[in-house]
Structure 1
């Protein structure tokens, strides 16, 4: 299953660079997204390294999820894809 990185988790004055917002294909509701919480995911750098993470919570009501990675992702990762395992 693939997901698209939308942006960092942000607020009005602060950007949380340790959490990313992920839009998963074919997931359009909060109920569908809740089933994916806890799954592992992997982002591959252009150089071929893998950064692993986990889906930790639902963000909003349209099926977007929050993910936390073992290392913070660079800004170049926004609009790229992650592979969700399982």
Structure 2
């Protein structure tokens, strides 16, 4: 089995009255439709801070109609993670 790594970007934190600090909306460059984004569902997501700590998560589902993904991390993401890159491991 070959492991493929794709770079993506954290677009936003999922919003709501409850506060979803563990959920992030991710954009993959070149993916514009929900059909193209479907191949990334259940992929592993890793965000690395500048200090070297890692926060690991998983892509849950497609978010919206324009190829965005909803990922849930094991721990909450800090504010510095917004706009930062993550690795998608397929």
TM-score by length of 1: 0.92
Question: How far off its partner does 1:33 sit?
Answer: 0.9
Would you say 1:42 and 2:36 are equivalent positions?
no
Deviation per CA, 1:35-54, whole angstroms, max 9, x where unpaired? 11000011001101111110
Give me the whole-angstrom Cα distance separating, in 2, the residues matched to 1:42 and 1:18: 13
Which residue of the partner structure matches residue 51 of structure 1? 55
Residue 26 (structure 1) shift: 1.3
Q: For residue 7 of structure 2, what is the aligned residue in structure 1?
A: 2
Three-state SS of the structure 2 residue aligned to 1:46 is: coil
Match of 1:85 in 2: 89
2:3 corresponding residue in structure 1: none
1:4-83 to structure 2, matched below 5 A, reads 4-11=9-16, 13-83=17-87
CA distance in 2, matches of 1:23, 1:57: 12
Unmatched 5+ stretches in structure 2: 1-5
* Matched residue count: 85
Which structure 1 segments of 5+ residues have no match?
Answer: none
Distance 1:60 1:14 in 2: 20
TM-score of the aligned structures, taking structure 2 as reference length: 0.88
